[in-house]
Chain A
Amino acid sequence: NAGVTQTPKFRVLKTGQSMTLLCAQDMNHEYMYWYRQDPGMGLRLIHYSVGEGTTAKGEVPDGYNVSRLKKQNFLLGLESAAPSQTSVYFCASSYWASGGAPGLGEQFFGPGTRLTVL
């Protein structure tokens, strides 16, 4: 199993350009997430999805859009990139743990995409 993969790994954009980040998981997880990580700020949730065809806003959704047309893929789009969107972007997938202590299970993260907007 490849787990969670992200493409591309690195990208440099000019202000105003658009791009799409692709996340794929092969673990049949229902939940998928997009985070951004900036120095000193931990991981902040951008958008997430609880199943195929669904999306929801996270903590910092402005300037981003997402789509989950297939269960295994979660796309993050930047329509008009701004320097404030320079960051490292992580995708993650997860599941609902059943059993004695039901709840949100482990999040499996991809290797990240380092985006620079000039």
Chain B
Amino acid sequence: TQLLEQSPQFLSIQEGENLTVYCNSSSVFSSLQWYRQEPGEGPVLLVTVVTGGEVKKLKRLTFQFGDARKDSSLHITAAQPGDTGLYLCAGAEYGNKLVFGAGTILRVKS
């Protein structure tokens, strides 16, 4: 099973600050998905990146897939309290399963 390391594990910032979450592996994935999870709920997909070097923007969120398809990052610009939650990256193995990172807990204080 391929492993995904996510960093940092926990991030507490003030409203308006920028932040980056990293997702790294020594293995290649066919695609990488980012999910956001709120307390008491299941994760919800934010984005899927497929092509090495791909960059996707979702309002204030920017997702990047590494050229070698082994790593990814999530950058949030001008964080807001509504961004608070658990962010999970998940790599698609060549098949029909995902392997999840341990997650980054983000807290944005107003």
Interface size on A, residues (CB 8 A): 28
Number of interchain pairs (Cβ within 8 Å) = 66
* Chain A 39-75 interface 0/1 with B at a Cβ cutoff of 8 Å (1 = within): 0111111001010000000110000000000000000
Judging by beta carbons under 8 Å apart, are A104 and B88 in contact?
no
Is B45's beta carbon under 8 Å from chain A? yes
Given the known interface contacts A40-B102, A42-B101, A48-B97, the answer about A104 and B31 at a Cβ–Cβ threshold of 8 Å is yes
Is B18's beta carbon under 8 Å from chain A? no
Judging by beta carbons under 8 Å apart, are B51 and A101 in contact?
yes
Chain A interface residues (CB < 8 Å from chain B): 4, 31, 33, 35, 40-45, 48, 50, 58-59, 90, 92, 94, 96, 101, 103-107, 109-112
12 contacts between A and B (CB under 8 A): A42-B6, A43-B88, A43-B90, A59-B1, A59-B99, A94-B96, A103-B92, A106-B33, A106-B48, A107-B35, A109-B42, A109-B44
